[in-house]
Structure 1
Amino acid sequence: MNLKYMILGAGGTGGILGSALTKAGKDVTFIARGSNLDAMRNNGLIIRHLWDQTEEHLEVRALSMEESCALSLAPEVIFICVKEYSLDSVLPFIRQTAGPRTIIIPILNIYGTGARMQKKLPDCTVLDGCIYVSASLEHPGVLVQHGPILRVVFGPRDPSYISPILSAIQSDLCESGIDGVLSTHIQRDALEKFSYVSPIGASGVYLHAVAGDFQKEGPARELFKSMIREISALAAAMGYPFEKDYVKINLEILSNLSADATTSMQRDIMEGKPSELDGLVMEPLRLAKKYSVSMPCYEEVANALCPLEF
């Protein structure tokens, strides 16, 4: 099955995912804008690997939303790789682009994105998904990947949903050097990923900490561990108990990053851009209230970072 992929958003997440698929010879179209789009069209993508100081250059197909609509592209798979705060702005494009058989896979940082998108796109098939990758857009057309991990977990919220295209997507991911996982428990798997991205993002901003601060014993590492435990308790209360020790797993993930690595939320806040504070800090507390779970570390961070909302 020769699938056509569209990567909506060509920053650290979409750029690395799409480049891996492109290198494996898959049919990939990036949707980007502004100077990043111009750089990708003129010079392709440059990817710097911090862990071994290597660099690669890749020719890619990149279009604007307007160009894509004019060409009437009909992708079988759309990976949504924009930030949560940009999601509503791309919904009209998705409605125009997605066909009746298109599979939409959001791999945003925020738990529950797929279900929320499905309500706004009732005529589309929206799965849930998450990605394990640490990368950022350093300059237009230039990506920095902080560690070698690249894993995509995706699946339908209804485990009875079966479609041959899902297995084909998984095969394409694996053939591209990506650890592709077709999940039958995607809510739990998404919460497991959230148990990393939310604590590391929230505690990193709160303590102005980089990966190296969490890789050694000290206050940053202890706060990170405590927040993971609070997400684990929340997941259990929601009916999706973790089957593994995610404190240990997330510390292992963290150990593979460059010591100066930061999260995308930290970079957005430092640059004065919109951020995912609401989804990464306040949404866990809203869920905690709904499911009667105590999250004192999240409350501490929210009081400091989101005082007007908390």
Structure 2
Amino acid sequence: MKILVYGAGAVGGYIGAHLIENGLDVTFLARGGHLKNIVDKGLNIVLSNQEKIVHPSYATDSLATLKNVKFDVVIVAVKAWQVRESATEILPYTSSSTLMISVQNGIDSPYELNDVFEARQIIPSVFRGICLVSEPGVVSVPSQCSWTLGEFQKNPTRAINSLLKPLIGSKLQLKVSIDEDIIKDLWKKLALIAPMSGVGALTRSVLGVCLEIKELRNMIEKAVEEIIVVAKSQNIILPDETLENSMGFYRALPYSATSSMQRDIEQKKPSELEYQTGAIVKLGKSNNVQVPVNSFIYYSLLPQELAARSDLR
């Protein structure tokens, strides 16, 4: 099985390392100094209790360096706003049986992949946990992470468990599983990550501070509740314990935790604002659902997002 990790940064690199440890043939697409160190030294995964250096079969910053290659699995691990363009670039290196695995935050990536690939090829996935590129060639994973996969278009004639079996295991402390309702799980993740990302970015505060201040904690809770209502307008019924589970997850994270969207916004980079809080605001409008907290977060952060994308004069 030949696998391409398109975007071997923090999450992509960690998942790729897990697959390499499973004995699979993995190619990395990465950039800059991160790529150079992977090529020269391997990718160093720093876990809470061990370090592991893995070596992909090949690593590059351009798919054009690949000749006559068709991948069996492509893990699309770029930012949500890069998926559509990436899909077009990846297409020549796939076949009609290639599985396209999305790993982005938000709910849009599988649908954007479906603009280029057949629905039966698309495997949405949900990554939960914190990992980051602490320095070029090094991915730090301070706590247990999980990776859940499922079918975008359910097909009773194929055994998805058997198809994905080579990807499943528990290497490098990554817990991998299959979910029969992965779209609902994408919404669960959105209800988890968007409020934390939005309030953290808005206040420029780590998660622990946001939870300590009652008014900010209430803001996070209200944002989660609004997402639950918007999901219902899309015929996605989230569990009754969604709010409780989200708050419990936040409390279990390190005090200094931040999301990738928050870090991008703080560094004045383009972020996933449109695909997280923005998606909730737009769906709320189109379904006549009031989302005042998410709207406040979104429109407060929008000027900086537009400036980061050079869309403001």
TM-score w.r.t. structure 1 length?
Answer: 0.88
Q: How many Å apart are 1:256 and its aligned residue?
A: 3.1
Cα deviation digits, residues 149-179 of structure 1 (max 9, x gap): x222222233235433553324532353533
Residue in 1 aligned with 2:162?
A: 167
Q: How many Å apart are 1:208 and its aligned residue?
A: 1.3
Cα deviation digits, residues 84-141 of structure 1 (max 9, x gap): 2322332233111111110001111121210122113359822322211211112211
Please tell me whether the aligned partners of residues 40 and 62 of structure 1 are also in contact (alpha carbons under 8 angstroms): no
Once the two structures are overlaid, the 10-residue window that deviates more, 72-81 or 196-205, is 72-81
Structure 2 counterpart of 1:272, from 268, 283, 287: 268
Please tell me whether the aligned partners of residues 11 and 131 of structure 2 are also in contact (alpha carbons under 8 angstroms): yes
Residue in 2 aligned with 1:55?
A: 51
Tell me the distance in 2 between the aligned counterparts of 1:131 and 1:117: 18
Structure 2 counterpart of 1:236, from 225, 232, 235: 232
Tell me the distance in 1 between the aligned counterparts of 2:297 and 2:238: 24
Residue in 1 aligned with 2:311?
A: none
Please tell me whether the aligned partners of residues 37 and 62 of structure 1 are also in contact (alpha carbons under 8 angstroms): no
Is residue 87 of structure 1 aligned with residue 110 of structure 2? no
Please tell me whether the aligned partners of residues 8 and 30 of structure 2 are also in contact (alpha carbons under 8 angstroms): yes
Please tell me whether the aligned partners of residues 171 and 180 of structure 1 are also in contact (alpha carbons under 8 angstroms): no
Q: How many Å apart are 1:72 and its aligned residue?
A: 2.7
Amino acid at match of 1:229: E
Tell me the distance in 1 between the aligned counterparts of 2:167 and 2:189: 22
Please tell me whether the aligned partners of residues 277 and 294 of structure 2 are also in contact (alpha carbons under 8 angstroms): yes
Tell me the distance in 2 between the aligned counterparts of 1:55 and 1:65: 25
Cα deviation digits, residues 268-291 of structure 1 (max 9, x gap): 122222111111121111111122
Please tell me whether the aligned partners of residues 118 and 124 of structure 1 are also in contact (alpha carbons under 8 angstroms): no
Structure 1 counterpart of 2:115, from 114, 119, 143: 119
Tell me the distance in 2 between the aligned counterparts of 1:270 and 1:196: 20
Tell me the distance in 1 between the aligned counterparts of 2:219 and 2:58: 41
Structure 2 gap segments, 5+ residues each: 307-313
Change (3 A) 1:78 1:166: farther
Change (3 A) 1:236 1:268: same
Cα deviation digits, residues 61-82 of structure 1 (max 9, x gap): 3422545753333321111100
Tell me the distance in 2 between the aligned counterparts of 1:89 and 1:35: 23
Q: How many Å apart are 1:193 and its aligned residue?
A: 0.9
Amino acid at match of 2:32: G
TM-score w.r.t. structure 2 length?
Answer: 0.88
Structure 2 counterpart of 1:7, from 5, 8, 22: 5
Q: How many Å apart are 1:228 and its aligned residue?
A: 1.0
Residue in 1 aligned with 2:73?
A: 77
Please tell me whether the aligned partners of residues 10 and 133 of structure 2 are also in contact (alpha carbons under 8 angstroms): yes
- Which aligned pairs between 1:276-287 and structure 2 lie closer than 5 A? 276-287=272-283
Tell me the distance in 2 between the aligned counterparts of 1:133 and 1:246: 17
Cα deviation digits, residues 219-238 of structure 1 (max 9, x gap): 33222221111111111121
Aligned-pair Cα RMSD in Å: 2.5
Q: Give the secondary structure class of the aligned counterpart of 2:147.
A: strand
Q: How many residue pairs were aligned?
A: 305
- Which aligned pairs between 1:1-310 and structure 2 lie closer than 5 A? 3-49=1-47, 52=48, 54-64=50-60, 66=62, 70-122=66-118, 125-148=121-144, 150-160=145-155, 162-164=157-159, 166-170=161-165, 172-176=167-171, 177-216=173-212, 218-306=214-302
Tell me the distance in 2 between the aligned counterparts of 1:231 and 1:162: 34
Please tell me whether the aligned partners of residues 46 and 140 of structure 2 are also in contact (alpha carbons under 8 angstroms): yes
Structure 1 gap segments, 5+ residues each: none
